[in-house]
Amino acid sequence: VPQLDPEFFVSQLFWLVVTFSFLFLFLWKVSLPRIGSVLEKRENKINNDIETAKQLQIEAEKIQDQIEQKLHNSKEQNISLIKNSTVNLQNKASEELLKLDNELNKKIEKSAKVIENNKKESLKQIHEQIHEITKLTLSKLSSVQINDQEIKESVANARSGVKH
């Protein structure tokens, strides 16, 4: 076995040094710089991505705050609109009720006047009929002729004694 033969040790050591030197120089000058540049690019990309993520998170928080503020403002405006609408509807309802009350009061007053006029007219007609009945009754019962003025005075005297 030549690997264990001592006369080949020097030759083997020479080629070992040459091979490992070449391997060391190759790794040092070619492979390690490439690996280093790849690692540096990855680190830069990761740092850029982290920085971008932080900026996006800050922007998202700002947008969320704006949305929450707009929602809060919208809720306040809705509450204000509802209150104003309620007050306006109550005021309009009150106005309509007052108008209806006024119209009903006017109609009641008008109806009361009509009833009062009808009552007066009816009483006038009743008095005229009483006057006619009295005149006819007296003419049938007695042969005394009484003029209309005397009958009116008698009916007026009798009426003043009776309360309505």
CA distance linking residue 67 with residue 150, whole number of Å: 100
Kindly report the three-state secondary structure assignment for every residue of the chain: CHHHCHHHHHHHHHHHHHHHHHHHHHHHHHHHHHHHHHHHHHHHHHHHHHHHHHHHHHHHHHHHHHHHHHHHHHHHHHHHHHHHHHHHHHHHHHHHHHHHHHHHHHHHHHHHHHHHHHHHHHHHHHHHHHHHHHHHHHHHHCCCCCCHHHHHHHHHHHHHHCCC
At residue 163, the pLDDT reads 58
CA distance linking residue 62 with residue 53, whole number of Å: 14
At residue 162, the pLDDT reads 65
CA distance linking residue 44 with residue 51, whole number of Å: 10
pLDDT of the chain, 164 residues: tens digit per residue: 667 778 888 888 899 999 999 999 999 999 999 999 999 999 999 999 999 999 999 999 999 999 999 999 999 999 999 999 999 999 999 999 999 999 999 999 999 999 999 999 998 898 888 888 888 887 788 777 777 787 778 777 777 776 55
For 106-150, the pLDDT digits (tens) are 999 999 999 999 999 998 898 888 888 888 887 788 777 777 787
At residue 76, the pLDDT reads 97
> Taking all residues of the chain, what is their mean pLDDT, rounded to a whole number?
90
Q: Kindly report the pTM of this predicted structure.
A: 0.45
